[in-house]
Each structure stands twice: as C-alpha cells, then as structure tokens.
Chains A and B, each alone.
Chain A
Amino acid sequence: MFKQRILATVVALFSLFIVFGGWFLTNELLDRQHVKLMNKVNSIDFNEKLDVEPGAGRTKTSLSTKEIANILKVWTSDRIRHYHEPYEGQLTMEEAINAANSWLSYFCKNDILPKEILESDFTQTNAFLYDTNPVSQVPAMITPAPDPAYSFWSVNLINREVSVQLMINALTGEIWMVDISSSSLEVNFDNIKVWDVLEQYEKYFGLFSSDEPKREEAYASKSYENNQIGITVYKKAGESGHYGTIHFSLTSTH
C-alpha cells in the first residue's frame, strides 16, 4: 500500500514535470528563435549604376508587340508592386526624369498638349521604380528581375494646380501611360482633340494600323498589330465644366 502511494506521488510529480517542462521548453525555443531573428542581418545585392554622363546615349532596347501586350496585362493586373533599385539595363532615375521631361516638352511644344503645362512651375518632381514580378523571400540574395522589361518608372511632376504622372517602361524608356490633371482654368483640355493626341502618340511609338478607330468627342481608341495592343485617349470634365483631365495610354487589347 505504501509503495502504491509512493508510486502515485512519483507519477503525479512526473506528470507535472512533463506538463510544465513542455510549456517552458516551448517558451525557451520561441525566445531563442526571437533572439535569432532580432540579431539577423540581411542584405540584398543590386547592381548600382554609375551616374550617366550628360550627353551619353543609351542603347535603345525595343520589345515585340506580344511582349508589350504581356507587360501591359501585368501592369494593369492586381499584382503587388515593390520599389527596387534599377536592374541591369534599366533606366536610372535621372534618365527616367529626363525622358519624362523631354516627352512632355515635345508634346507641349508641338501643341499636342497645352503649352501652359510646361510653363507650370512644378514644385515636386519624383520618380519611383516599381517591379511587378512576385517578390521572393526578403531578404533575398541577388535576384535580378526575371525580366527587367516588367518594371516601370512612375514619374510625377506636381504643383498646386497641375499634376502629371507618367509611366515609363524601365527597359525601353518609352512613355506608356500619361495622366494629366489640372484644376487651373488656364490649363484645360477643351481645345485638345483626342483624335490628334492619338495620332501623335501613334507616331511616337511608330505604330500604324488600317483599322477603323473609335472616335467620340472625349474618347478615342485604336488597335494595332492584329488587335494585340491599342492606344486609348480620353478626357474628362471637372467641376468647372472644363476638361480638366486627360489620359492616354498603351493598352493590351488581346
């Protein structure tokens, strides 16, 4: 009988040891993992581009229509975008901003867009490079984008009244989307013919199509290369009754 009691006591104590031991062990392991995470130093490599010498030209890279269509599909999808440093072959920030300014200058000086946009004093100019490829685990070691053509620079030229946003393909440097909004009465798009804008934009890309375009007062679109890609231009009126927004972009029609 006495032996039974001793055994019962030993068993009870051992059970308590197992129960609390399990709890403490779990806590201890979690704490160790926590400390390990806290002390870990991660690094991500990238290929830093030296400053571009003024006047130095970039090697122009062109994409096929199919490639353009695929990239546009990804850009307009819900895929998460991440900032990143420029990959090999991509535009630097300076090149992207210069490309944006050059393009805008050209379109304004040739009366495709209101000259008043150029005359606006942009208080803010910023550019962000986005990657639309899925991100692997962070920190990741050298992981150049599977395709650098899928990144884009978003260049924004902003002041109190006018905002210009351009999406530039990071590999080719072409402007694939433009969004201009104005709350200024002096800068409006009432006299801008969307069809003219489309034609000029068409020329910018060197596209040609015999397809019949869709044309309305504030909307125009046309497809190219057997309906693989298209150009869409539209303008919207603001509260003032003037057309305060214009948007034109390359689109994937496939």
Chain B
Amino acid sequence: MKLFVKIFLFSMIVLSAALSLSGYLLIMSSYKNAVVQETQRAMDQYQFIKFLIQSDIINQQDETDKNNLSDLISASLSNMENQNLTGLSNGINYVSVFSKGQKSIYSTFPSDLDFKISDYDVNQKIINKIEQIQGRAYVEVLGKITQSGQAVYLLTATDIQSVIDQKEGMVRNFGTIYFITIGIGIVLVIIFSTLLTRPLRKMSAAAGRIADGNYSERLRVLSNDEIGELSKMFNMMAETIEERIFELSNAAKQKEDFVSNFAHELKTPLTSVIGYADMIYQKPLSREDTKNAAAYILDEGLRLEALSIKLMDLIVLNRQDFVLEELPADELMQSIAGTLKPLLSNEKIKFKMEVVKAYIKVDYDLFKTLLLNLIDNAVKAGSTEISLIGEIMQKNYRVSISDNGCGISADEIERITEAFYMVDKSRARKQHGAGLGLSLASKVAEIHGTRLEFISTPGKGTVVSLSLPLEGGGVSV
C-alpha cells in the first residue's frame, strides 16, 4: 500500500474518532448538566407546591374543623388554582394528588396516569423520573404529604422538553460540523500527503536514473528536516557510487592495458626466438650466421627471463604483507654501492655516495631492489655520473639518486611508473629492458609509505628522490 494511502487512511480514522468522541462527550456533558438543572428545578417546584399545600392545610385546620386530608387538599388546590399560584393552568406544570389507593383527589394531568404508586417507595423519600406526556418530556416528582396522621401522594410534572429539543439541535449541528470538518480534512490530508510524498517520488526517480547509468544525478536539498537529511545522504551515496565506478573503470582499463602490453612484450621476443630457431632448423647456415642467430635467441631469452623475474616480483609485491624493520640507512647504502661497483666500473660511470647516518624503517630486500632499479635506470639513461645522497630533512630521511643521463620530458614523467611503459623502446630492448623497473620501484615505495619524485631535464639528467620518516634509533654513531 502506498504511503499516501496509509497517511490518508490513518488521518481519516484519527479525525473521525477524535471528532466523534469530542462531539459525544460535549453533547453528553451539556445534556446531562441541563437535565440535572431541570431536575433540580422540578424538585424545587414540587417542594414549592408541597409547602403551599401544607401551609394551606395548616391554615384551614386552624380556621375550620375539617379533618379529612383529602378534602383539605382538594379545597387548597382549588383555592390556589383560582389565585393562579401554582401555574397550574398554563400547561407547563401538572399536579396530581391521590390517595393511597391511587384514587384521584385532584389532577391537572391531561390523561390517566400510567404508573402504579405501589411500584415506588415514597416513605421518607422523594422520587423523580423523566416521563413522556403527550409527546413532551417532563420530570415527574412523587412524594407523600402527611398531616394529622393522614397521608396523600403528590405528583408534579415539570416540562423539560426544551432540554431534549436543545440536545437534538446540538446533535444536528454537530452532524453538520462533523461532515464539513471531515470534508475539509480530506482535502487537507490529500494536499499534505502529496506534499510529503513528493520528495520521495523524486528520490525514487533519481535512483532509477542512477541505475540506468547517469551517475552524476543529484537531488536538490530544500529543507533541514528528515527528508532534507535523506536527500543529503542520497547525494553522498550517489557521489560515492560515482567515484567507485570511476575507480573500477580505471582499474579495469589499467588491467586491460597491462594484459595488452604484457601480451605484446611476450610476443616480440618469442617472434624473434621462433624466427631464428626456425631459420637454424630449416636452413644450413654458416657458423657465423648460426652464431648470430643464436646470439639473437640468447638476447631475447635473457629479456624474457628478466621480464618473468620482474613480473613475479610485481605479483609477489601485490600479494604479501611486508614487515618493515629499523635499519641503519648508511650501512644499507654501502651494501648497495658494493653490489653496483662491478657494473658501474664496467660502464666507466663515476659513482658518488654521500649518506648521513640515520635509522629508517624498511624491508631490506625490497628497499635494495628499489635503489638498484633506480640506479640501473640511471645507467640505462646513458649517465656518466651517478650520485646517491642520503640526508636528513626536518623529521624525514631523504634518499636521492641523480644522474646526468638523457633525462625525461615533462609529458613522459607521469607515465614512467606504468607497467611496460618505455620512453625509448629501442634503447630499452637493446638493454634487455621490459619497462617494469620503475613500476616495481614505485610499488616498493608505496609499500614503504612513500612515493617517488622525479625531477628531470631532457638532455641534462634526472633526480629521483623519496622520503622516509626518521626512526627512534636516531642518528647512528
């Protein structure tokens, strides 16, 4: 069931119940109070007439020698009627006096009384109840008049039809108000429900458009209430979804590029190997040609080997958690310098090392791999001088490798850490390069919580640096 319908139904039930209950209580309360007041008025009227009768009886007894109560009362009431003392003749009140055997002594009631005295106990009691007389409501009050050991019954009736009519009028008015209020309520509830559910419908439509691929869809936040909060949260969610989709798209594209480049890098040496092997197999070649062909096969084979080793390293780096340990930086650099000495000596490259003593947190093998790759790159760039600097800058230890090689142009720098990317493919292949060295180094730097920074001038050289936090070992002595 739609929210609109639920709100509508609930409002109708509440409104109807509230109106009905309040109407009932108001009318009932007012009606009861009116009846109580009219009953009191009737009681007063009864008592008034009783006092009049009793006074007159006492008077008559003093003045005459009449003793019969019925005769006394009959004379008293006739006398009163003549003097219009009781309002007996105006039709508003009725009076009846009768003996114990319900024999009427005096009565102004329009018809025979339809109740039995014996049904009521009026000994030391005054009874009152509401009765219908000729279609009108009266409060009848019944009591006993005792005088000189004799007793008669006095019954009075006071018209209270106006109270009944008033109540009927109130009910009619209430009915009118009830239905008008319900009608207005229906209109207001419909308007309110529509306004309340409109933002939710907009939200639903926006969610549908996002599901269709329009990830930039956002809602306008127009209020500070719960709906406004929901809209804000919806926008945040949409933004997060858009970012994730973007990241996933990029990751998928990178994977695609990686696979494509990898396939390409694999294909090239294999093509040469197959070609030269086929040539050796198919044709009788001279020793010289055979040696040349074998040399190509060896060359490409070595390149494939380097490629597979580096690929393995990349895969391993992606899958392992590494535990870093505090090591003296200067000793680490010394070890690297020792490994590179033969290579650098062969290439007749001048190597300078200035390393400040300090402790850094590294994985020994990985960090060595990083530095070796960077220096290897510097060698492949055709450098004649390579420097390895380790210095303290504020709270960090900065390692820089600078060369005077061919340098890298500004538009290439952003891509040099991509897997398989080579600035100069021909030069790289000549040196058995696979385009994975800087990708590896970048990954290692990431594992150590840092990144590689490249400053390069084509034709002049390149400086590659990274910063690591200084550790508690401080400066080693």
Contacts and interface: CB of A to CB of B under 8 A. Distances in A.
Interface of A: 7-8, 11, 14-15, 18-19, 21-23, 25-27, 29-30, 33-34, 37-48, 50-51, 82-85, 93-94, 97, 124-129, 135, 137-139
B40 interface: yes
A230 B335 CA distance: 129
B55 A93 contact: yes
A93 B62 CA distance: 14
Contacts of B31: 30, 33-34, 37
B128 A139 contact: yes
25 contacts: A7-B1, A11-B8, A19-B12, A19-B179, A22-B17, A23-B175, A26-B174, A30-B24, A30-B28, A38-B132, A39-B129, A40-B129, A43-B128, A44-B43, A44-B126, A51-B148, A51-B149, A82-B47, A83-B44, A84-B47, A126-B51, A126-B52, A126-B55, A127-B51, A135-B40
A38 B130 contact: yes
Contacts of B58: 93-94, 97, 125
Interface in B104-135: 120-121, 123-130, 132
B5 A11 contact: yes
B137 A19 contact: no
B268 interface: no
A8 B32 CA distance: 42
Contacts of B36: 137-138
B16 A38 contact: no
Contacts of B23: 26
B246 interface: no
Contact of A82 (B24, B27, B44, B137): B44
B54 interface: yes
A11 B125 CA distance: 58
Contacts of B17: 22
Contacts of B28: 29-30, 33
A22 B130 contact: no
Nearest to A47: B124
Nearest to B143: A85
Given A42-B129, A94-B58, 17 more contacts: A7-B5, A14-B9, A23-B179, A26-B20, A34-B167, A41-B120, A43-B127, A43-B128, A44-B126, A45-B125, A46-B124, A48-B144, A84-B47, A93-B54, A127-B51, A127-B54, A128-B51
Pick the 9 closest A-B CB pairs, nearest first. A83-B47, A126-B55, A22-B16, A22-B20, A26-B20, A41-B129, A43-B125, A125-B59, A138-B40
Contact of B9 (A11, A43, A94, A138): A11
Contact of B137 (A38, A50, A139): A38
B26 to A, nearest CB: 11
